[in-house]
A = this chain, B = another copy of it.
Amino acid sequence: MSTATHNAEALAQKLADSGLRSTPQREVVYEVLLKKRDHPTADEVFARVKSGLPTISLATVYNCLETLVQCDLVRAVNFERGPTRYCPNLRPHAHFHDEQTGKTHDIDLPSELLEKVSSVLPAGYDAKSVEIIFRGKATKAAH
């Protein structure tokens, strides 16, 4: 079975879990995110998706991205006012924002660190998620 087929089935499954349908648009949008993990904006996804599905509309791309976020297949990332970016990496990770290049890199986080971070919360604060963003420059490229 090809990777694409496998992803499509995993997607169909997750969508079904939420009572939603799998559609060509949703499949292609998801494939595009998995294929090039450079935190694209909705516009960039739109451009990439069009080569496989020329009649798709921008509104649909927004809809699909929103759906994927709801189904926990994709994370929406916002830092620095500007377009939302999308990330199919579901492992716990931080983002490193390179101020020179504007590129965003994923940084894996040991679960031990996440616990440590959450432990600074005073009583009465119940965090469902933690997001960590680094800003600076990357002197060498990473994966």
Contact = CB atoms under 8 A, between A and B. Distances in A.
A35 interface: no
20 contacts: A78-B81, A81-B84, A96-B125, A96-B127, A107-B120, A108-B120, A113-B120, A117-B117, A121-B134, A124-B138, A124-B139, A125-B134, A125-B142, A128-B136, A129-B134, A130-B133, A130-B135, A131-B132, A131-B133, A131-B134
Interface residues of A, number: 41
Contacts of A129: 134-136
Contacts of A105: 125
A94 interface: yes
Interface in A36-55: none
